[in-house]
Amino acid sequence: MEPYSADRSLYGKLRRRLARLVATKPARLSGLSRPLLTISFDDAPVSAAHEGAAILERHGARGTYFISTGLSGQESHLGRYTDAADIRALHAAGHEIACHTLTHLDCGRAKGTAIAAELDANHDALIALGVPAPRTFAYPYGDVSPASKDVLNTRFTASRALHHGLVVTGTDLNQAPAVGIEGADGEDVARHWLARAAAMPDSWLILYTHDVREKPSSWGCTPQVLERLVSEAVAKDFEIVTFEDGTRRALVSETTKAA
């Protein structure tokens, strides 16, 4: 079975462009001594929670896991998804447990009421696992609509999309850019963006992947690739933060910073 993919039509592209104009939450990043980097794992398969987390932890870093609890424990093209024990262990190790839609519902094409119902159910399921209420979100398939941004804006401090870019002052944190470590050229693309962020003061790069295994899906990477990228980020003096930590830094007002 082919995995579902987001709307690639002209209408879909226009909807995502239009969404960039509404319910915005501009970032303010200034005075950073080091560029910020977030490593995030979407959905998230068990390999991301085991191999992926272990790589980050060896470098003293923590990641963000965008969880769809409705997929919990199921087999998929990304391998088996994390279950309750995996998610609790990630939280206990200091990783951020963040929100995806309950069943991986595509926010680009769903009604606001359907999205809200999925968010409520995913929130409740995470609370029932004993982890804190999620504070950030990632759009499944990266697909966005103006209606979905309105719903998400009131519930989360930030929401991550999938278009390439860096977070700098003015970037919309309700539709934050991200770069995938996925596919045959995933490592090269991520390395290119690490270099761009390292050369730009007051920038924040958000990377994402899915499975982390020897034979990854087209949406994942190998443990060796992730290890090389995290090592390079450490060598380039990036500060590795969770998505929530980065958001907190990017939403601090200038007055608070000056105090």
Closest distance to Zn ion from the beta carbon of 24 (Å): 23
Closest distance to Zn ion from the beta carbon of 259 (Å): 39
- Position 226, amino acid: L
Backbone angles phi, psi at 114, to 5 degrees: -70, -40
Nearest CA to 100 out of 118, 79, 76 is that of 118
Where does this chain bind Zn ion (CB under 5 A)?
42-43, 140
Closest distance to Zn ion from the beta carbon of 231 (Å): 26
Residue whose CB is less far from Zn ion, 102 or 198: 102
- The total of other beta-carbon atoms located within 10 Å of residue 168's CB is 18
Closest distance to Zn ion from the beta carbon of 43 (Å): 4
Residue whose CB is less far from Zn ion, 71 or 250: 71
Residue whose CB is less far from Zn ion, 35 or 186: 186
Residue whose CB is less far from Zn ion, 78 or 166: 78
Q: Are 118 and 105 in contact (CB under 8 A)?
A: yes
Backbone angles phi, psi at 209, to 5 degrees: -150, -175
Within 6-100, residue ranges assigned H as helices are: 10-19, 46-47, 53-58, 84-92
